[in-house]
Amino acid sequence: MNHKRLELAIEAAGLGGFEWDLARDVFVVSERMAAITGLTPGEMPADGGTALDRYVHPEDLPAYQARRERDLGAAGAYEAEFRQLRADDGRTIWVRVAGVVSRDGGGRATNVTGIVQDITERKVEEDHRQTLMAELDHRVKNVLATVQALAQQTAKRTTSLESFLSNFGGRLKAMGSANELLTAARWRGAAVDHLVAAELGAIVPGQTSWGGPELFLTPRAANALSLALHELATNAVKFGALSVESGHVDVRWTRTGDGGFELAWTESGGPRVMPPARQGFGSTLLEQVTGRELNGQTAVEYRPGGVYARLRAGAPAVAPRPETVPEAPTARAAETIVASSGPADLRGSRVLIVEDAVLLALELETSLSEAGAEVIGPAYELEEAMALLDRQIDAAVLDANLNGRSVTPVAEALARRQVPFVFATGYGEAGGAPGGFDAPVIRKPYDVTQVAAAVAELLRPS
């Protein structure tokens, strides 16, 4: 390949070339390198190879010089990445520089040939990725801390394990719904109507209504409102308007002049309301936690005709409309507030478990075994699950994703054999079951008794 073709190939790759003639102590800057760095193309004094060092960012210069001297002396080649100050306008860019030394017959260096590449875009993406990872780490730790606090506060105010599991599981589900909506909007905000729909959509169809302007909340405010709605809904189902067929719950929200919003929860048509004899964690959460998290205040009134709650939020709780707005969620409240008709009976049934989270798989195995099922598996990987399909199986519990791989091949094989299955998954697909299968879906986090009940329903004679 001749010199001209080499130059064309280098330019096509987005690289700029340079040469350092040691005998004449000059740098030769190519047109492409000049475009990248802001230098003037052509020859310039090399000053013993240090002429370009003044354009290296001061914080990166010592490391660059040390590496260049070490590599050129030992190996005759070097490569480095550093920030450079453009010679024409002073802008900071990231560059990658690589050079090789040519020597004469006596081993004396005569020429250094190198390339320069603008890697600013890549560096910006790396920085952005690191920022996102740090933010994810922060959010995960916040979620874990919140879950721990919920568990402790719930445990302090419950008198039985069954009550604790029901209350704690419902609160986790409410957090899960809010986080699912936030994830769909890339954590830029969750719509109030979506949060209300996720909690009230399927409790008792026809007995709930809601409405208000389009309004998006910050992640902190969204989680707070979701938990508050869950507590109010739970109380309404157990003791309030939604405990009878004639009752109704209406939720309305409006913007306030200070940039925040106000939400009113109104119950009517239910049994006569009396103030609670003692304050549980739900009341504490509503009256002491929700208001602070919303940068506002809350008030709950136990009116004889029905509970009335007013949640007022300040402007910091409101987020701009995100670029990505998810569709309104499908009804999921039935998963949040579970009215159990008693323990599931799975005696004589053979149930396959496919779940990559080992602790959760063990918990599922225990729950299904206690219900009388013979558990096949658990299978933690796709290959393990496929290998178990030659067994006699009456029903299956499938996680949608197994360590990054879809469970679809297992679901397809079961469907061909007409073996019913339920998805127990953390994937929030608004359109129904993963992969479009005609199968019930239980969203994580869930109470394992829900799964046993769902399997029992699958096996119920039609």
What percentage of the chain carries pLDDT values higher than 70?
A: 79
User: Distance (Å, rounded) from C-alpha 378 to C-alpha 362?
Assistant: 8
Predicted confidence (pLDDT) per residue in 159-172, tens digit: 777 767 666 676 67
Residue 459 exposure: Cα atoms within 13 Å on the Cβ side: 20
Asked if the model's pLDDT at residue 143 lies above 70, the reply is: no
CA 167, 170, 172, 178 dihedral sign is negative
Q: What is the DSSP string of 143-199?
A: HHHHHHHHHHHHHHT-SSHHHHHHHHHHHHHHHHHHHHHHHHTTTS-EEHHHHHHHH
As a whole number, the mean pLDDT across the chain is 82
Predicted confidence (pLDDT) per residue in 379-403, tens digit: 999 999 999 999 999 999 998 888 8
Using DSSP's 3-state secondary structure scheme, residue 224 falls into helix
Q: How many CB atoms lie within 10 A of CB 298?
A: 23
Range among 59-63, 73-77, 323-327 rated most confident: 59-63
Class of domain 350-459: alpha beta
Question: Taking the complete model, does pTM exceed 0.75, yes or no?
Answer: no
123-336: what fold? Heat Shock Protein 90 (3.30.565)
Asked if the model's pLDDT at residue 448 lies above 80, the reply is: no
Q: Where are the domains of the chain?
A: 3-118, 123-336, 350-459
DSSP label of 67: H
pLDDT band at 223 (very low <50, low <70, confident <90, very high): confident
Mean pLDDT score, 330-341: 41
Q: Higher model confidence: residue 75 or residue 25?
A: 25
User: Distance (Å, rounded) from C-alpha 189 to C-alpha 184?
Assistant: 9
Short-list 145, 330, 305, CA closest to 241: 305
3-118: what fold? Beta-Lactamase (3.30.450)
Asked if the model's pLDDT at residue 334 lies above 50, the reply is: no
Contact 402, 353 (CB under 8 A): no
Range among 201-215, 280-294, 406-420 rated most confident: 406-420
Asked if the model's pLDDT at residue 311 lies above 70, the reply is: yes
> What pLDDT was estimated at residue 100?
87
